[in-house]
Amino acid sequence: MVGYVGRRLLQSLGVLLGVSVIVFGLLHLTGDPTRLLLPLEAREEDVRQLRALLGLDDPLWVQYGRFLARAVRGDFGLSFKHQVPALALIFQTLPATLQLTAAGLGLALVVAVPAGILSALKRNSLLDALCSVGVLLGQAMPVYWLGLLLIMVFAVGLGWFPAAGRDGWTSIVLPATALGAFSMARIARMARSGMLEVLAQDYVRTARAAGIRTFVVTYKYALKNAAIPLVTIIGLEFGILLGGAVITETIFAWPGVGRLAVDAIFSRDYPLVQAIVAVLATLFVVINLVIDLVYTYLDPRIVYVRSAR
């Protein structure tokens, strides 16, 4: 078990190193950034000065080494636009994004997992049909359209919730719903098919033949097995939602990392874009690591299979 965790930690570090190369490359993606940073009428001398200031005259690997050494200390430089450390800006906005993502995913889970399980248990019933329609709608609606729809109906029309901003708990309801709808549909579908598959397994029949109560068979024996593919999806969804927050935050004027990223990109604020990508990628890697560790609890076969190699 300890060996497995250690191995997964090392792998995660490898992934983060790869991420650092990509983040570093972002600055050079559009060629020499100095031309983009300076106004068109800038003199050749100004360009040279800025190149020297940014260290762009050094060989690429020296630049990368410098970038990496700073990045591990959390130093991505000053935001061009705001003139404060990029990381500080992110840490100001990250709680709002995490809150929105957690609310979206939480809402998705609370609705989707029971709905999926009930659909599987009452297969081909009216409830199952209703859930299928819900899944179809959830997966077919783009988040920006659903967002606008929610604003029109519940904020403008009924006036139940604020249309934008982050002020009190009511303000999170609409963005979380918009953000979570797609995940909700996906998770419900996975929960249903996972349960159906598990309920048809021989060991479920064994448990029933031994006189185990139906409730225990369904919610302990079957669910723990069905949870294995579900956890994968939930982990991936969390990452997708973090990214998806960019659109939702823009629509609902939610002061999170997503909106910060959009602003940073439009104002060519390279250090800030780099820092955001690095932080989100790190979060993603950490979530994946956590998911892998949850697996070992859910499925005892995983650790042994991997250590046998």
Partner 1 sequence: MALLSVEGLRTQFATGAGTVRAVDGVSFAIERGEVLGLVGESGCGKSVTSLSIMRLVPPPGQIVAGRIRLEGEDLLDKDAEAMRRVRGARIAMVFQEPMTSLNPVFTIGDQIAAAVLAHEGGRRRAAWDRAVEMLDQVQVPSPGERARDYPHQLSGGLRQRAMIALALAPGPQLLIADEPTTALDVTIQAQILDLLRRLQAERGMAVLLITHDLGVVAELCHRVAIIYAGRIVEMAPVARIFEEPLHPYTRGLLRCLPHPSRFGQPLSSIEGAPPDLRGADAGCPFAPRCPLAIESCRRHEPALAERRPGHFVACPVAVV
State yes or no: residue 208 binds partner 1 (CB under 8 A): yes
The separation between CA 247 and the C-alpha centre of its own chain, rounded to angstroms, equals 13
CA distance linking residue 116 with residue 60, whole number of Å: 52
Instruction: Tell me which residues in 215-244 interact with partner 1 (CB under 8 A).
Output: 216, 221, 224-225, 228
Residue 267 pairs in a beta bridge with: none
State yes or no: residue 160 binds partner 1 (CB under 8 A): no
Dihedral of CA 140/282/75/87: which sign? positive
Dig out the tokens for 116 from the structure.
């999926």
Nearer to partner 1, 40 or 209 (CB): 209
Nearer to partner 1, 128 or 263 (CB): 128
Nearer to partner 1, 263 or 299 (CB): 299
State yes or no: residue 295 binds partner 1 (CB under 8 A): no
State yes or no: residue 157 binds partner 1 (CB under 8 A): no
> Looking at this protein, which amino acid is placed at residue 270?
Y
Do residues 151 and 139 lie in contact, with contact meaning Cβ atoms separated by under 8 Å? no
What number of other Cβ atoms are within 10 A of residue 235's Cβ? 19
State yes or no: residue 122 binds partner 1 (CB under 8 A): no
State yes or no: residue 202 binds partner 1 (CB under 8 A): yes
Q: Which of 10, 29, 210, 308 binds partner 1 (CB under 8 A)?
A: 210
Q: Which of 51, 236, 298, 306 binds partner 1 (CB under 8 A)?
A: 298
Q: Which residue is associated with the tokens 């992934």? A: 15
Options 48-56, 129-137, 194-202, 267-275: segment touching partner 1 (CB under 8 A):
194-202
Tally the C-alpha atoms within 13 A of residue 96's C-alpha that lie toward its C-beta.
26
Dig out the tokens for 309 from the structure.
């190699």
Residues in the site for partner 1, rule: CB under 8 A? Answer: 200-203, 205-214, 216, 221, 224-225, 228, 298-301, 304
